[in-house]
Amino acid sequence: MKTALVCGAGGFIGGHLVKRLKREGFWVRGVDLKFNEHAETEADDFVIGDLRDQTIVRTVIDRRFDEVYQLAADMGGAGYIFTGENDANVMHNSATINLNVLDACHKRNIKRIFYSSSACMYPEHNQEDPDNPNCAEDSAYPANPDSEYGWEKLFSERLYLAYNRNYGMQCRVARYHNIFGPEGTWDGGKEKAPAAMCRKVALAGDGGDIEVWGDGQQTRSFLYIDECIEGTLRLTRSDFAGPVNIGSEEMVTINQLARMVIDISGKNVAIRNVPGPLGVRGRNSDNRLIGEKLGWTPSRPLLEGMETTYRWIKGEIDRHHNRQSGS
Ligand code: NAD
Ligand code: GDD
């Protein structure tokens, strides 16, 4: 039986990845600071542990796993990474995790490791035009990410690729572009725009309004979780080390995203644009390289994924409400 380790298995993407690996027949160990809040883990073994602690990392990486997925990070949406208040923690925590996991894998002679980098590593100066951002993989240098989160991702990408060169490892590096779907964070300050829009619209009264940060003309693309997992597995098992974008090319403005969710809800809700943490002015995945190297690109329309996500978040809100009111 093949074995896999998922670091960050208590998180959004890690939780979905564990499910997929189990469906494929893997024996799976998950590790995280916490269990997933939204779903029971399907991992065969789930270790609650801090990957900043090298002793714990060596205990968790106690065998030659066939595949290791390193998703653990100190991360969140614009409200977490663009305020500046979490910069030291984000850099220290995530870099320490990556240094520890990679070193322990090398010592166990584990070869195949997936690392989740982010589109946040792309230079700010190429993402100032909301209609025409440049996120081609080879536009990464000269480096100029707009957040410390992005700088840490860039450092760690280089770390994984250095282990490939110096130790013959088979690390695979993806640059995820804003992943969304059920069982993701939707409140508490770390949520990203798709979940935030769903929560705000679900809570809004008919005839009310929702707050959207900025003028709403900033652009992004959003990738549904199932396609993120598909791309992750395809890359990990390919001969291509990356870095490569895993994202959607369906770019929308944030106001268009908000309007889409309002339409899904069927409510009469207005958009109120307010000041907030913004990040880059425009961002979109560029899928030429992934198409060329893996012969696969994501294709699911944003609307389909947002319908599913809205239903799930609305259901979570209703459940919390019913629990509180005792019904
Ligand atoms: P998430 O926050 O839901 O999952 C990350 C998990 O890592 C959390 O469960 C957290 O508890 C765990 N973790 C943090 N510090 C830890 C530590 N010291 N020891 C053990 N576990 C620790 O985030 P996600 O959306 O599932 O993202 C997974 C990975 O993908 C992250 O590396 C993230 O930076 C990257 N990424 C995600 C997106 C996205 O849109 N979701 C975009 C780009 C990159
Ligand atoms: N989170 C959030 N909440 N964003 C909002 C809101 C809101 O209520 N209203 C408007 N926005 C705007 C933000 O100001 C930002 O301009 C845009 O929506 C997208 O915000 P996020 O989805 O939070 O983050 P991001 O796209 O800037 O960055 C995310 O994606 C990266 C990969 O592409 C983050 O999750 C990063 O951690 C991730 O690496």
| CATH label of the domain that carries residue 162 | 3.40.50.720
Residue 26 belongs to a domain: yes
Q: How many domains does the chain have?
A: 1
Does 79 contact ligand 2 (Cβ within 6 A)?
yes
Per-residue pLDDT tens over the stretch 268-306: 999 999 999 999 999 999 999 999 999 999 999 999 999
Q: How far is the CA of 10 from the centre of ligand 1 (A)?
A: 9
Residue 148 belongs to a domain: yes
Residue 120 belongs to a domain: yes
Count other C-beta atoms under 10 Å from residue 78's C-beta: 22
* Residues 221/285, Cβ–Cβ less than 8 Å: yes
Residue of 69, 115, 149, 224 marked active site: 149
Judged by phi (left if over 0) then psi (alpha if -120 to 50, else beta), residue 178 lies in: left
Predicted confidence band at 112 (pLDDT cuts at 50, 70, 90)?
very high
Please check the confidence at residue 324 and state whether its pLDDT lies above 80.
Answer: no
Residue 296 belongs to a domain: no
Predicted confidence band at 326 (pLDDT cuts at 50, 70, 90)?
low
Per-residue pLDDT at 323 = 76
ipTM (interface predicted TM)? 0.99
- How long is the chain? 327
Does 177 contact ligand 2 (Cβ within 6 A)?
yes
Single-letter amino acid, residue 84: G
Per-residue pLDDT at 283 = 98
User: Domain range for residue 235?
Assistant: 3-180+223-246
Scanning 24-147, the segments in alpha helix (DSSP H) are 54-60, 78-81, 87-107
Residue 134 belongs to a domain: yes
Instruction: Say how many CA atoms lie within 13 Å of 191 toward its Cβ.
Output: 19
Q: How far is the CA of 79 from the centre of ligand 2 (A)?
A: 7
Residue 124 belongs to a domain: yes
What is residue 95's three-state secondary structure? helix
Residue 32 belongs to a domain: yes
Residue 292 belongs to a domain: no
Ligand 1, from 12, 17, 75: best to mutate by most atoms within 8 Å of Cβ?
A: 75
Strands (DSSP E) contained in the chain are: 3-7, 27-32, 45-48, 67-70, 112-118, 170-176, 179-180, 209-213, 219-220, 223-224, 244-246, 252-253, 270-274
**What single string gives the DSSP state of each residue in 26-53?**
-EEEEEESS--SSS----SEEEE--TT-
Per-residue pLDDT at 327 = 56
